[in-house]
Structure 1
């Protein structure tokens, strides 16, 4: 009997269990409607917390909590300019957003 290889691959690249866990945590973090809305806002631009607040219409505190979680889960990256923090969609997560946007 032939020994079968049961490894998981995407486009021929082996995927490890820790990669699956990381992707699962990212998907859970993105699944909240407000967080998905923020990801859509940041698809092609970067914004400050206040700009995001103005766009989605909730409190600064609420947005800050979501942004912190999203940054911790690798969905967003940020950088500081003077006293403002700018957020953008992490490059590695653009494919996730594109996959979500194709769902009807």
Structure 2
């Protein structure tokens, strides 16, 4: 087996190997059913931990752990208003819901 360099493009834009690796790590992080459910909730609006807990029906501790991992992997961004933290899909990861379109 010999090493070949394959050119992969999305919408005519060449995709770098580092972009493939980054997308793969993001997809792995998103592949957990609860994390995917959270991403679907956050697709069109931002929410607090409490709001997410109410919608998915698990503990705040569990949701907080998943949100932390998702933020660390670049899937989510957050901002604080007073004592509340609001989460939303990171702009660069909205396309994960359309899978390969995030590879640019």
| TM-score normalised by the chain length of structure 1 | 0.84
Over the aligned positions, Cα root-mean-square deviation in angstroms equals 1.4
Aligned with 2:53: secondary structure?
A: helix
Q: Provide, for residues 5-40 of structure 1, a one-character-per-residue CA deviation record: whole Å limited to 9, x for no partner.
A: 732222222211111110000000110000000001
Q: Which residue is 2:28 aligned to?
A: 28
d(CA) in 2 for partners of 1:77 and 1:89?
Answer: 6
Matched residues, number = 95
TM-score (norm: length of structure 2): 0.84
Identify unmatched segments of 5+ residues in structure 1: 100-104
Of structures 1 and 2, the one with the larger relative CO (CA 8 A, separation 6+) is 2
Point out 4+ residue stretches in structure 1 off by more than 6 angstroms: none
Q: For the pair shown, which has the larger CA radius of gyration, 1 or 2?
A: 1
Aligned to 1:65: 65
**Gapped regions of structure 2 (runs ≥ 5):** 100-104
